[in-house]
């Protein structure tokens, strides 16, 4: 029986782990979960474990916030102890966070094979800490689990292909599909039954714009954040705008007093919501404005146009198909116009698999 040590620490990773952990369990793979505590606010952590029925973490590191170096180093020290204690057959990591790279480094130093979910994604912007994390993790991994064809191409271009080195290091690259699509399928009906977010916020289908902003490049840059707030204020004059505010974003808004700029418009700032509420908000929105990688895909799954406030995106398929429009936050009028004019993209694309990525991943790990 194979054993897996799963390292997670952020909201998107909890969603992905919900379906993959279930698939691992179904075929008898023993899993222990390490929650690094990278996302420690209950609205970004506890509620997801409760809603998605994720197994309780065996280890909770409680690392919390800090600089990238400090946070990663603290995780690495603690995960290494666990790796030495558990001696798993695999260390499983997701995405591109500091939790991802810390788990990969701890495993690699002790010659434990690494399985990387969402391997091969690239923004080609080395100023993003996520880009450094994902590239390094891919080059350390033995099993690279790609969500898209473009991810496979990126790895090939970097010389990462199926291989066995003289040292005995084995590498396997597989196109498996996107586990977030799996999660949307699995939890979509449950969300419909349980969520009351539309009623509690007095929202009607196709009559509001949903906003999520959390990336440091936007929240920590005062000028970019000001432009985003100005754009939302313009939108809020004509449209209902609902904005579940990430704790870091709220802190930045309050420090700059930008939240006061929204008082004359129909922009509702609410606390972060759980996964079920988020799925319903996404599904019923007229348009979504975000800087989140996961929300870009969830918008597509819900067939809702998306405006992404970034200079680039890893999910290039959505831009090419017209479902996603990149608008760097340098001009508030351009952002507002893009959101007001957002339209559906092409309906004949299915770039993220058939909803069985988690089962494929479990099978590959068990091979």
Q: What angle do CA 219, 245, 283 make, to 5 degrees?
A: 115
Which helix H or strand E contains 323, and what residues bound it? none
The answer to whether residue 214 is catalytic is yes
Count other Cβ atoms within 10 Å, centred on residue 316: 18
Per DSSP, helices labelled H in the chain are: 11-26, 46-52, 68-86, 98-109, 129-140, 149-157, 179-194, 197-200, 216-219, 222-238, 247-256, 275-284, 293-301, 316-321, 332-340, 357-366
> Measuring CA to CA, which residue among 324, 325, 326, 322 is closest to residue 347?
322
Q: How far apart are CA 204 and CA 281, in angstroms?
A: 10
Between β-strands 163-164 and 170-175, what pairing exists: parallel, antiparallel or unpaired?
Answer: antiparallel
Q: Which residues pair with 174 in a beta bridge?
A: 145
Cα dihedral 133→5→143→355 (10° resolution): -90
Q: In the structure encoding, which two tokens stand for residue 177, read together? A: 């599909």
The two most distant CA atoms of the chain are separated, in Å, by: 66
Q: Which residues pair with 31 in a beta bridge?
A: 4
Which helix H or strand E contains 352, and what residues bound it? none
Q: In the structure encoding, which two tokens stand for residue 358, read together? A: 């988690």
Q: How far apart are CA 47 and CA 182, in angstroms?
A: 20
Question: Rounded to 5, what percent of the chain is helix, strand, coil?
Answer: 50, 15, 35
Q: What angle do CA 346, 351, 354 make, to 5 degrees?
A: 115
Q: Give catalytic residues, as residue numbers.
A: 214
């Amino acid at each position: 029986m194979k054993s897996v040590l799963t390292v997670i620490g952020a909201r998107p990773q909890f969603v992905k782990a919900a379906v993959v952990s279930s698939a691992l369990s179904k075929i008898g793979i023993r899993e222990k979960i390490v929650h690094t505590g990278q996302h420690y606010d209950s609205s970004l952590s506890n509620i997801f474990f409760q809603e998605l029925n994720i197994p309780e973490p065996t280890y909770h590191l409680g690392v919390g916030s800090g600089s990238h170096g400090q946070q990663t180093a603290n995780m690495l020290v603690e995960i290494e102890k666990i790796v030495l204690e558990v001696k798993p057959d695999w260390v499983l990591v997701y995405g591109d966070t500091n939790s991802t790279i810390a788990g990969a480094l701890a495993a690699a130093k002790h010659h434990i094979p690494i399985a990387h979910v969402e391997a091969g994604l690239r923004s080609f912007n080395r100023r993003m800490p996520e880009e450094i994390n994902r590239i390094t993790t891919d080059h350390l991994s033995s099993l690279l689990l790609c969500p898209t064809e473009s991810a496979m191409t990126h790895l090939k271009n970097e010389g990462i292909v199926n291989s066995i080195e003289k040292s005995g290091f084995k590498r396997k690259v597989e196109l498996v599909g996107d586990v977030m699509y799996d999660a949307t399928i699995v939890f979509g009906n449950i969300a419909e039954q349980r969520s009351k977010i539309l009623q509690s916020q007095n929202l009607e289908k196709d009559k509001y714009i949903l906003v999520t902003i959390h990336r440091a490049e936007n929240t920590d840059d005062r000028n970019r954040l000001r432009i985003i707030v100005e754009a939302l204020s313009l939108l809020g004059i004509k449209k209902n705008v609902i904005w579940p505010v990430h704790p870091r974003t709220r802190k930045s808004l309050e420090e700059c007093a930008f939240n006061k700029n929204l008082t004359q418009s129909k922009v509702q700032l609410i606390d972060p919501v759980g996964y079920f509420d988020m799925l319903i908000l996404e599904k019923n929105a007229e348009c979504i404005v975000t800087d989140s990688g996961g929300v870009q895909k969830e918008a597509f799954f819900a067939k809702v146009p998306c405006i992404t406030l970034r200079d680039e995106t890893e999910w290039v398929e959505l831009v090419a198909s017209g479902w996603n429009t990149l608008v760097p936050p340098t001009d508030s009028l351009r952002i507002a116009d893009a959101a007001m004019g957002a339209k559906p993209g092409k309906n004949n694309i299915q770039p993220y698999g058939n909803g069985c990525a988690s089962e494929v991943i479990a099978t590959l790990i068990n091979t």
